[in-house]
């Protein structure tokens, strides 16, 4: 295991809970910073991915799929290679051409935009992807699944016709982020805060040189934040090389702060890629790009949520949603029938047929922080019902399996 072995970790650290609940692991043979997710950890990832895709499709995003690898020329064209080459994986020679594992998605999305002529009628165009990215992070900063070398980003690039459209899209992106925070149960000021990340006009090696564009972009983001009526801090030298950004910052149980969600104003890439469109008067105009990540990287938000919930996930996110517990061996057949009905209805269930007493089985369900368990004994079989018990609310009574499923599906759908 590639976890910190000598350092004593907080009991609510995601690295501790992740191991206890068997969510993910690391292998020296696979490589540092490359997590391997078990079926339980993968279930949480799927729910987060499903949530963000469903919500973005409702909001007019076009979800696409692009390669995890590209020619190095693409990143030279975007300008990422000179700025970020130290955090990129080394080039791979294929048939005499140099390719790289992608560290970001924007150049891929821009090439999709450029695949045919575009009209003002198509803008804003919201191109989104759950993108697998690869960055060479130094060994010393790798931390569980908060900072890894392979991660999946809920990424999107919005090509806008003008500054007004860009500001409206930034507000829309912040609204989406706020909605996601609410679903996750994250509280403003307690779990996260806003930061306006600015560039440094004097540092041409780190930031694209265009003082007027920087002033305009930073002012635009500042106006949007003020219109949101949220407290925020300003931080110089935290911008991307192509423009300022709004970062939503969260702290883990160690007190370490990281960016969870972000919205960026980009005045550089449209020029580099010639992201033009035909306006209503027939003239060709250059667009503006808004980069945004609605729930950040799946790995990082998962780590934050593990710590926030202390492993006791709400039903919709829980890797195992219900455990079916027969009281004795003679109840196993009925319990298996219930288990199969739950699975047929898309509910993640486990069946406990171990030769152990009821108290031990219930304690096991509690230790694994499973939201619900169903007990089946003589009286339940006789009444053709199950006894429903809750991790959070104790014994809830006897119900038909149909009513239990109805309750579960409603709770899952509403993501309570």
Residue 24's DSSP bridge partners are 37
- pLDDT > 70? residue 7: no
| Whole-number CA gyration radius for the chain | 25
Mean pLDDT of 174-203: 90
Q: What percent of the chain has pLDDT over 70?
A: 97
d(CA 376, CA 221) in angstroms, rounded, equals 58
- Predicted confidence (pLDDT) per residue in 212-221, tens digit: 888 888 999 9
User: Is the model more confident about 5 or about 128?
Assistant: 128
List pLDDT tens digits, range 68-107: 999 999 999 998 887 788 889 999 999 999 999 999 999 9
pLDDT of residue 205: 66
Least confident of 52-61, 189-198, 296-305, 335-344: 189-198
pLDDT reported for residue 4: 45
Question: What is the average pLDDT score of the chain?
Answer: 94
Beta strands (DSSP E) in 219-347 are 232-236, 245-251, 257-266, 276-278, 284-286, 288-297, 322-326
Answer whether residue 6 shows pLDDT above 60: no
Q: Which residue has the tokens 């930073």?
A: 218
pLDDT over 90 at 229, yes or no: no
pLDDT at residue 3, rounded to an integer: 47
**Of the listed ranges 109-113, 218-222, 324-328, 333-337, the one predicted with least confidence:** 218-222
pLDDT at 1: 45
Residue predicted with more confidence, 152 or 240: 152
* Residue 30 to residues 35, 36, 138, 153, Cα–Cα distance (Å): 9, 9, 16, 21
Domains defined along the chain, listed by start = 14-309 (3.30.930.10), 322-414 (3.40.50.800)
Q: Is the per-residue pLDDT at 185 higher than 60?
A: yes
Specify whether the CB–CB gap between 277 and 285 falls below 8 A: yes
pLDDT per residue over 104-154, tens digit each? 999 999 999 999 999 999 999 999 999 999 999 999 999 999 999 999 999
Whole-number Å distance between alpha carbons of 237 and 27: 36
Query: Which tens digit of pLDDT belongs to each residue from 9-45?
Result: 899 999 999 999 999 999 999 999 999 999 999 999 9
The pLDDT of residue 143: 94
**Is pLDDT above 50 for 350?**
yes
Q: How far apart are CA 60 and CA 95, in angstroms?
A: 40
Question: Strands 232-236, 288-297: parallel, antiparallel or unpaired by DSSP?
Answer: unpaired
What was the pLDDT predicted at 294?
A: 95
């Amino acid at each position: 295991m590639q976890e910190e072995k000598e350092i004593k970790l907080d009991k609510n650290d995601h690295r501790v809970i992740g191991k206890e609940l068997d969510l993910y692991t690391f292998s020296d043979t696979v490589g540092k910073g490359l997590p391997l997710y078990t079926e339980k950890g993968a279930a949480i990832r799927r729910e987060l991915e499903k949530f963000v895709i469903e919500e973005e499709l409702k909001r007019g995003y076009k979800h696409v799929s692009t390669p995890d690898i590209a020619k190095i020329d693409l990143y030279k064209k975007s300008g990422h290679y000179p700025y970020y080459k130290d955090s990129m994986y080394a080039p791979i020679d294929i048939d005499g051409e140099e390719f790289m594992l992608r560290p970001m998605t924007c150049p891929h999305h821009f090439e999709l935009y450029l695949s045919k002529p575009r009209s003002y009628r198509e803008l804003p165009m919201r191109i989104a992807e759950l993108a697998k990215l690869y960055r060479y992070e130094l060994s010393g900063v790798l931390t569980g699944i908060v900072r890894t070398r392979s991660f999946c980003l809920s990424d999107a690039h919005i090509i806008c016709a003008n500054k007004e459209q860009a500001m409206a899209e930034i507000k829309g992106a912040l609204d989406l982020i706020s909605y996601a925070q609410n679903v996750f149960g994250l509280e403003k000021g307690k779990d996260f805060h806003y930061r306006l990340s600015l560039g440094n006009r004097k540092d041409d090696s780190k930031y694209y040189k265009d003082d007027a564009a920087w002033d305009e972009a930073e002012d635009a983001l500042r106006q949007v934040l003020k219109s949101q009526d949220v407290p925020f801090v300003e931080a110089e030298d935290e911008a991307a090389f192509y423009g300022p950004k709004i970062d939503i910052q969260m702290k883990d149980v160690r007190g370490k702060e990281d960016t969870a969600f972000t919205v960026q104003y980009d005045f550089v890439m449209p020029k580099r890629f010639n992201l033009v469109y035909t306006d209503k008067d027939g003239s060709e105009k250059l667009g503006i790009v808004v980069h945004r990540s609605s729930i950040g990287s799946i790995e990082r938000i998962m780590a934050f949520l593990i710590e926030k919930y202390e492993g006791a996930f709400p039903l919709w996110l829980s890797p195992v949603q219900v455990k079916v517990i027969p009281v004795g061996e003679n109840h196993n057949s009925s319990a298996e029938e219930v288990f199969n009905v739950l699975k047929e209805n898309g509910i993640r269930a486990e069946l406990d047929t171990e030769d152990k007493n009821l108290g031990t089985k219930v304690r096991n369900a509690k230790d694994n922080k499973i939201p619900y368990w169903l007990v089946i004994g003589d009286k339940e079989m006789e009444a053709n019902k199950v006894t429903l018990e809750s991790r959070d609310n104790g014994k809830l009574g006897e119900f038909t399996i149909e009513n239990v499923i109805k309750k579960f599906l409603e709770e899952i759908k509403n993501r309570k």
